[in-house]
Amino acid sequence: MTQHTLFVCVLCRFSKTDGNQAELSAGQSLFDRLSAGLAPDSICENIHLHPVRCLGACSHACVVAFAAPNKLTFILSNLSPTDSVPELLQFSGQYVAYADGKVPHKERPDAVKQGIHAVLPHLPLDSKRWTLRCEHL
């Protein structure tokens, strides 16, 4: 079975306009809420939730990435650590269900449509064919 991973930056901070001075970072709060929502008896059980210390989009917090072998990688940003959770869980199931990860735009939840920071193509299966020759460097 394909390993699906949802990376969550746990260092993402609440915006200054949020006024939230909680002990947890916004990213950690998002991670905790997603962890609680990934029920073992749902399609989401096939998503491995993985905390990371940075996804490199700090000015667009909160940031997550959906990745799996031979599937598109979705990087989402500007997510609410509370409001986006149900839609991220919904998208988790959709991402697992589509063989190439390409969930049709019209089926994606609003938080996903509005939060797309980047969509990366899957790596080619035959990586030898795409090897760069760096002999002259």
| Average confidence (pLDDT) over 49-70 | 90
> Per the structure block, which two tokens stand in for 5?
């991973």
Report how far residue 52's alpha carbon sits from residue 44's, in angstroms, rounded to the nearest whole number.
19
Identify the three-state secondary structure at position 31.
Answer: helix
- Residue 78 CB burial class (10 angstroms; 0-12, 13-18, ≥19): middle
| Average confidence (pLDDT) over 14-19 | 57
pLDDT for res 102: 95
Query: Residue ranges of the domains in the chain?
Result: 4-130
pLDDT for res 112: 95
Report how far residue 30's alpha carbon sits from residue 51's, in angstroms, rounded to the nearest whole number.
10
The residue ranking higher by pLDDT, 14 or 105, is 105
pLDDT of 127 > 80? The answer is no
Q: At what angle do helices 26-37 and 85-97 cross, to 10 degrees?
A: 60
Report how far residue 90's alpha carbon sits from residue 38's, in angstroms, rounded to the nearest whole number.
10
The residue ranking higher by pLDDT, 84 or 46, is 84
Prior bond of 58 cis (ω within 30°): no
Question: Which CATH homologous superfamily contains domain 4-130?
Answer: Glutaredoxin (3.40.30.10)
Write the pLDDT tens digit of every residue in 67-114.
999 999 999 999 999 899 999 999 999 999 999 999 999 999 999 999
pTM check: above 0.85: no
Residue from 42, 32, 30, 43 nearest 76 by CA: 30
pLDDT for res 13: 82
